[in-house]
Structure 1
Amino acid sequence: MASSDDLKYVYKLVPSSAPIPESLPDRLPVSDLDLQSGFIHLSSARQVPNTLKFFFKDEPLVYVLRLEYAGVEDNIRWESPDAKICGPRDGEGMFPHLYNGLKLGKKEIESVAVWKNENGWDHALENAASWLI
């Protein structure tokens, strides 16, 4: 588990098939996976690369939503990923899951980045190194 003292942001990756409007609404649509799980799947900065490469490998672009951890910390549970879906995620630790009634919108989102898949995600990750903290 992390505290707000050592974790500044958590991230939500959203596929290009669910475009993010320029003006964020109070509540964005929730993915089928999040609906089935009953919480919003998030990643720490360290977990984003493998989440991106595994779950979004065929997406042409991804919206990366950055949430200030201190603003959502009370509704975060740190839980182990289900290895049935993508196998063990060794060294990545527990994942942040947002339990707030599946609400994610302008109140929770600090900023949005758009990353393009250019023959893999490495180039996007290199360009985002100073933003993905």
Structure 2
Amino acid sequence: MKFVYKIIPKSAWKEAEAQKEFKGFGIDLNDPFIHLSDGTQVASTLEKFFKSQNDLVLVEIDQESLGDSLVWEQSDGDDLFPHLYCGLPLSSVTNVYQIALAADGKHILPSHLGKVG
């Protein structure tokens, strides 16, 4: 199984759980898609968009379950980023990780993704 990831505030994820669907947050609301990252992009996404922010979660998503709604597009330089052109069904979520913030302000990711910075 291959995964893509969404980084969002814990409060936004709780709201999505209550609504049974995630329709986007922040920058997603200005675009026709939900911005996601693959496993190699999570650390740089945190550093670029969520520097020193606390109370974040990392939503792990089964990319195959998203079908044709998941499109890989050039976004930043030569990198292809996953974009989801529909709401995220919670049935596609395989895990939700708390993102810890170390004393030095760096995010600590689940062990399979490493530490930011």
When normalised by structure 1's length, the TM-score is 0.71
Structure 1, unpaired ranges of 5+ = 1-6
Cα gap change, 1:29 to 1:97, in 2 (>3 Å): closer
2:53 aligned with 1:53: no
2:105 aligned with 1:120: yes
Once the two structures are TM-superposed, the CA of residue 23 in structure 1 deviates from its matched residue by 9.0
Match of 1:14 among 4, 8, 12: 8
Structure 2, unpaired ranges of 5+ = none
Q: Which residue of 1 aligns with 2:17?
A: 24
| Whole-Å separation in 1 of the counterparts to 2:99 and 2:26 | 22
Cα gap change, 1:40 to 1:117, in 2 (>3 Å): same
Write 1 or 2 for the structure with the bigger share of helix: 2
Match of 1:96 among 82, 89, 104: 82
Match of 2:56 among 47, 55, 62: 62
Write 1 or 2 for the structure with the bigger share of strand: 2
8 Å CA contact 1:52, 1:121 repeated in 2: no
Once the two structures are TM-superposed, the CA of residue 10 in structure 1 deviates from its matched residue by 0.2
Once the two structures are TM-superposed, the CA of residue 105 in structure 1 deviates from its matched residue by 4.0
Once the two structures are TM-superposed, the CA of residue 24 in structure 1 deviates from its matched residue by 2.7
Q: Which residue of 2 aligns with 1:4?
A: none
Q: Which moved more, 1:71-80 or 1:47-56?
A: 71-80
When normalised by structure 2's length, the TM-score is 0.80
| Whole-Å separation in 2 of the counterparts to 1:9 and 1:20 | 18
The size of the alignment, in residue pairs, is 112
